Amino acid sequence: MNSRVYYDNVKYRINRSKETLEMLKKVIVGEMKEPGDLSFIITDDKELIKINREFLKHDYFTDVIAFAENDGGKVSGEIYISIDTVRRNARNYKVSLTEELFRVMVHGVLHLCGYKDGTEEGKKRMRILEDWWIEKWKMELWNSDMI
């Protein structure tokens, strides 16, 4: 698996990106799938709404858009994230920017694994999985700080 984070004209940088990408690989493996190549593109509202309009025909801001490129059974794709929307959501939900960013990264990976959130049931299922992985991520980061 080759995972990369790209920054599209934003100043924000992910702290501990290597560990974060390793945890996202565990999300895929936890879904009984094989990790492939993943690209996370951190951008802004302006760019993400252009993508949303062009490819999904939606005219609204969103935090994450995932494009699957699954090949040979491997989970691969591009995940575009608006750091602007993630920042607003972090304030609204009273969580850290780091935690909210990890949540949307997991959300994008779950989409690549086949999860849909077009129904209330789908949204609920994805939220449960996001919460579970966030707690696991927090524990692993905490434990690694103790070494």
Q: What is the pLDDT of residue 141?
A: 75
pLDDT level of residue 147 (50, 70, 90 thresholds): very low
Q: How many domains does the chain have?
A: 1
1-58 per-position pLDDT tens digit:
799 999 999 999 998 899 999 999 999 999 999 999 999 999 999 999 999 999 988 8
pLDDT level of residue 146 (50, 70, 90 thresholds): very low
Instruction: Print the domain residue range for 68.
Output: 3-145
Please state whether beta strands 3-7 and 64-68 pair in parallel, antiparallel, or not at all (unpaired): unpaired
Q: What whole-number distance in Å separates Cα of residue 100 and Cα of residue 142?
A: 17
pLDDT level of residue 145 (50, 70, 90 thresholds): low
pLDDT level of residue 91 (50, 70, 90 thresholds): very high
97-138 per-position pLDDT tens digit:
999 999 999 999 999 999 999 999 999 999 999 999 999 998
58-73 per-position pLDDT tens digit:
898 899 999 999 777 8
78-94 as b/e: b if 16+ CB within 10 A? bbbbbbbbbbebbeeee
Here the CATH number for the domain that contains residue 64 is: 3.40.390.30
Q: Record the pTM.
A: 0.93
